Structure 1
Amino acid sequence: MVTDKNCRMCNASETLQKSHIIPRSYFKSLKDKRGQLFSVTCGGTSEAKLTNSDPKEYLLCRECEQYLSEIFERYGTRLLKDRRKVKRSGDCVIFENFRFKEFYLYLISILWRASISGLSKYKHINLGDEINHLLCHCLRENKIKIQTSLRLDHFFKISLIRIVDKTGQIDEDAIRKTMIDLNFERGEKLDDGILYYFMVDGFLILYHFSSEKDIHTVRTKKNFAQILNKDRLYVPISDLGDFKQLADGFSSLTKHAVKHNKR
């Protein structure tokens, strides 16, 4: 533990805990018996590497660490992991009794931690001080509303997609046990905004950040698979091949597995 450092959430000078950017529970379920996992960085060569990766750093005091865990993370991780609460209907899966605010802020907490992280692997996730401060404020206050008619989810629209391989070459269990770490893509035009994404438990999470000039458009525009403030969440099922970055990542894993089996 590190002492005499300021917590990045409450700014108090406290003994800091080693905070995970992506919740530790995901890494525990992904690692094999040797305590290792395959890491894939999408883009470029999309090369798969065996690693002990479980990235964490001194970011938060114990109180703030526990706060994020109890208020957001506990619900967020269980929602995607508990298969008993997932119903499949046609081309979508359905979550009943969905708690939008907890889940939305849980996902925001992951993006925020990556953005303030000092780890080199997250240096490409940089939202800037103003946005970091806004996200931190919403997390601390446990709210999404920014002003009377503006909410955080007007600017950060989060989508959730269940990923499958419709060719049948990769089974669902293999997809659930693969994690794609946080990455981003810029739109072709400035108005297109920026897309941040990662994948865990077979679900692709996408954050679309844009600053539309028209406030009405900001409030009313909806993205594909966007999670909404309703008590039932419909998550579309999409083919792995529809997302080039994911397809390249899984292709890299398959090549690595073939090479490993030939030894």
Structure 2
Amino acid sequence: MKNFQGKGQRPTAPCKRCGAVALLCRSHAINDAFFKGIFRENSGKAHHLAIGAEKPVTTSESGWDYLLCEACEAHLNNNLDRWGHRWFKDAQDKIARDGWRGKFEIDPTRMARYVASVMWRASVSKAGAYEGFITNPTLRGQLKAVMDDQESPLEDFSVAINLLYDSEGQFSASALRRIILSPISWIKRGGQIDRFVISMTVEGFLVVASYPKFPWRNRLSSGFLNAQKSYIFMRPSDIRKTAPFPDLLEDVMRQLAG
């Protein structure tokens, strides 16, 4: 139970990561730096999509909750969040400078940990932006294990990253960067194994993770991280054909036009 010292003050409660009873920080699942960049460029607004809402909402709310003690908040910010934020921005800068090439250098272990850390925070957060996140103790435990695993986070966890584009040309690359899809999850049933599949967008990139990991045939496709390779081959992913976007585009376009 959280103990609030007064209105507007940080609560004292067990940290979601280490369990220590401490003064908790305002923790964001998606790096606050992504939102700040969008807010600066778009009059303080982001096109923040949360599954379960009747329509997407244009908001300045970045989605936070009191989750972590100061030590754990600093650990994730310094070791994963800043690195992840820089990688996605550098990738977009490279595309703007050199055009689309498809191949990008990457630290697959660190990226897997970064993605898992964002998704784990969404799974334990009570912020309204993550209401569409289906979870259970097994998934939360696995995401936390991947987040903290510096050796083999991809052993039973797969991650694919691909660039979003609009085949009809209504959404520019800069507009797609302003659309933030909060981490959502669903259960993919098939064969003898049910998988949790988790999607989110970061800086115009679609990130999809799975636990247990997708079969090896799937992981041969473009965009999947390979623990043995220091690069990734991404492919463009059409927002018109990528769930859940087709059902949301009309509202988003209306907001962009307004």
Q: TM-score range by the shorter chain?
A: 0.7 to 0.9
Please show how residues 32-181 of structure 1 align to structure 2 within 5 Å.
Answer: 34-42=43-51, 45=54, 47-82=55-90, 83-86=92-95, 93-96=102-105, 98-140=106-148, 142-145=149-152, 152-181=153-182
| In 1, Cα distance between equivalents of 2:237 and 2:156 | 24
User: Relative to structure 1, is the Cα distance of residues 251 and 154 closer, same or farther in structure 2, using a 3 angstrom cutoff?
Assistant: farther
Alpha-carbon offset, residue 136 of structure 1: 2.4
Letter in 2 for 1:35: G
| Correspondence for 1:148 | none
Alpha-carbon offset, residue 60 of structure 1: 0.5
Which residue of 205, 210, 227 maps to 2:212? Answer: 210
| In 2, Cα distance between equivalents of 1:38 and 1:228 | 32
| In 1, Cα distance between equivalents of 2:179 and 2:32 | 15
Q: Please provide the CA RMSD for this pair.
A: 2.8
The answer (yes or no) to whether the contact 1:157–1:223 under 8 Å persists in 2 is no
User: Relative to structure 1, is the Cα distance of residues 245 and 136 closer, same or farther in structure 2, using a 3 angstrom cutoff?
Assistant: closer
Alpha-carbon offset, residue 99 of structure 1: 1.1
| Correspondence for 1:197 | 199
1:33-74 CA distance string (max 9 Å, x none): 6423333335775x2323231111111011111111111111
Gaps of 5+ in 2: 1-8
Alpha-carbon offset, residue 81 of structure 1: 0.6
User: Relative to structure 1, is the Cα distance of residues 48 and 139 closer, same or farther in structure 2, using a 3 angstrom cutoff?
Assistant: closer
The answer (yes or no) to whether the contact 2:112–2:146 under 8 Å persists in 1 is no
Letter in 2 for 1:256: Q
Letter in 2 for 1:242: K
| In 1, Cα distance between equivalents of 2:19 and 2:184 | 27
The answer (yes or no) to whether the contact 2:22–2:69 under 8 Å persists in 1 is yes
Letter in 2 for 1:210: P
The answer (yes or no) to whether the contact 2:48–2:59 under 8 Å persists in 1 is yes
% identical equivalent positions: 21
Letter in 2 for 1:26: F
Alpha-carbon offset, residue 208 of structure 1: 2.0
Letter in 1 for 2:79: I
Please show how residues 222-261 of structure 1 align to structure 2 within 5 Å.
Answer: 222=219, 224=221, 225-229=223-227, 230-258=229-257, 260=258
The answer (yes or no) to whether the contact 2:183–2:198 under 8 Å persists in 1 is yes
Q: What TM-score does the superposition give when structure 2 sets the normalisation length?
A: 0.81
Aligned length: 244
Q: Secondary structure at the match of 1:227?
A: coil
The answer (yes or no) to whether the contact 1:164–1:238 under 8 Å persists in 2 is yes
Letter in 1 for 2:197: L
Letter in 1 for 2:102: V
| Correspondence for 2:3 | none
The answer (yes or no) to whether the contact 1:197–1:205 under 8 Å persists in 2 is yes
Gaps of 5+ in 1: 146-151
1:106-131 CA distance string (max 9 Å, x none): 00001111111123442442432233
| In 1, Cα distance between equivalents of 2:195 and 2:217 | 16
Determine if the alignment matches structure 1 residue 16 to structure 2 residue 24: yes
Q: Secondary structure at the match of 2:111?
A: helix
